Amino acid sequence: MKTITLAGLALAPLFLRAPLAAQQAGRGAALPQLAQELFLAETAYAQEQGEVQLTLHTRFEGGTHTRLLGEYGVTDRFQVQALSPALEDGGEGDEGAYEAGVLFALIPGQAPVALSVAMDVSLQHGEAPQWEPALIAARQFGPVQLHGAVSTELGEPADAVTGTLAALFDAGRLTPTLELVMQGADDDFVVPGLFAHPHEHVEVGVGAPICIGCRRSLREVRLMLTVEP
């Protein structure tokens, strides 16, 4: 219940003016892409038609765990993506699965808000496919951009809903971020992060997830490198 409540609070202010923003898309400023990817939360951006984006996401906790994400814009509003299992030997749990997905932007990218739907599937040897639909919204408030998402794993119990809320701060070539992830019965996280843009087509980020209410000590750092070849 707490996750559903958080998700409603996260998405409500983003949805309230979405229809008006869509009608004014021609007059409003486009939603800037302050960070291409986030560490645990989701962004509502879709890749542009013909655009390829590659992301290396490395988690440091008792060794390195690196996954490769590839995204391709089929149109300006529809993208496909694929995520590898951990490139190092011994990937476990979610990090041992192949994932594929699609994202469709319900509101065009030139609008001052973004609203997208996504569907991901996780494929792991010896297990049934896991489908995860998501609804993602974003809106700009001055120098701050908010992204809220609600997702669930089909076939899981009714409380297996994940809600995320991320704040991105526009500081030129730097983008400080703060992510909040609520996972129902599972652990919840706050993730402070910082993304730098040394080149128009290169993004580098570092983040440190902090577990809320965990009984175990979490000493984890994440690095992310995104390029658009």
Q: Using the structure block, give the residue that is written with the tokens 């390195």.
A: 64
Strand locations in 74-218 (E): 78-83, 98-105, 113-123, 130-141, 144-152, 161-169, 174-182, 188-199, 202-207, 210-212
Q: What is the pLDDT of residue 213?
A: 76
Report residue 133 as tokens: 């639909």
Q: What is the pLDDT of residue 112?
A: 79
Classified by CATH at the fold level, domain 2-227 comes out as Porin (2.40.160)
Look at phi and psi of residue 98 and say left if phi exceeds 0, alpha if psi is from -120 to 50, else beta.
Answer: beta
Report residue 146 as tokens: 């908010």
Tens-level pLDDT at each residue, the chain (229 residues)? 444 444 555 555 555 454 444 444 444 567 899 999 999 999 999 999 999 999 999 999 878 999 999 999 999 999 999 999 999 876 666 788 999 999 999 997 667 789 999 999 999 888 889 899 999 999 999 999 999 999 998 865 555 789 999 999 999 999 999 999 998 766 899 999 999 999 999 999 999 999 887 766 678 999 999 999 8
